[in-house]
Structure 1
Amino acid sequence: DINECNQGICSQVCHNSVGSFECSCFPGYVLNEDKITCSDINECTSGVAGCSQDCINKEGGFNCECEFGYTLDDDRKTCVVGKLKIATIIIQLYSFKMRKYVENICCALL
């Protein structure tokens, strides 16, 4: 049996079998009609991503991003109110001895 995979026919993954071979793709890609090459799946337009706000497609995957005032939750898809950012700003203001402005800035950010 000749190992057709040694010839570099497949663009990503090659599976050799007796008398034949089969190509497949890495996660985030789909096998094209030629059964040899792979194309990126746009998870953002296909509905696979599941981002609660903004979806950014990239080669082989995607990233979810959040609008101003929100942070990405641990599931990397859901955006939640960015309370951690507000706390960070307040701590920084205290360190710069700007205590009298903290309440106004805090309330404006909420």
Structure 2
Amino acid sequence: MHHPNFQYEQYSHRLPVYAGNTFRYDYDDGNVFIIHFFDATHRHDEGIAGPHKGFNGYYTFNYVEIAPCVYFMYWLEEVYTVSQVADFNRMLVYTHYTYDAQGVRKSLFHSGTITELDSFTS
């Protein structure tokens, strides 16, 4: 039995603001990616400029909303372990990669801007 004054809707999980949308990430190092977010945990990344031009990957990722419309996302790629904070209030992205280089663990940090392009339908 539910209490009549309890607001169950406030505890329901709402979709992140990025879900179903496409964005352009312009990083300070010259890398530019088009990111298609299919839903809350699936994305397609396409490198269109910079050292990662031609890169193409589909990923399942985890996320935590650390502030309203600010998301900490993390996932594994074939070469990289990626941690990312995407701030959709200020339209800024911060990404940290780690990878193995001949038995030595290396890391890279990139920051950039986010531009919303359109809605994406899978």
TM-score above 0.5, yes or no: no
Which structure's CA Rg is the greater one?
1
Between the two structures, name the one with larger relative contact order (CA 8 Å, sep ≥ 6).
Answer: 2
Interval of TM-score (by shorter of Structure 1 and Structure 2) = under 0.3
The structure that is helix-richer by fraction is 1
Going by fraction, where is strand more abundant, 1 or 2?
A: 2
What is the TM-score with the length of structure 1 in the denominator?
0.26
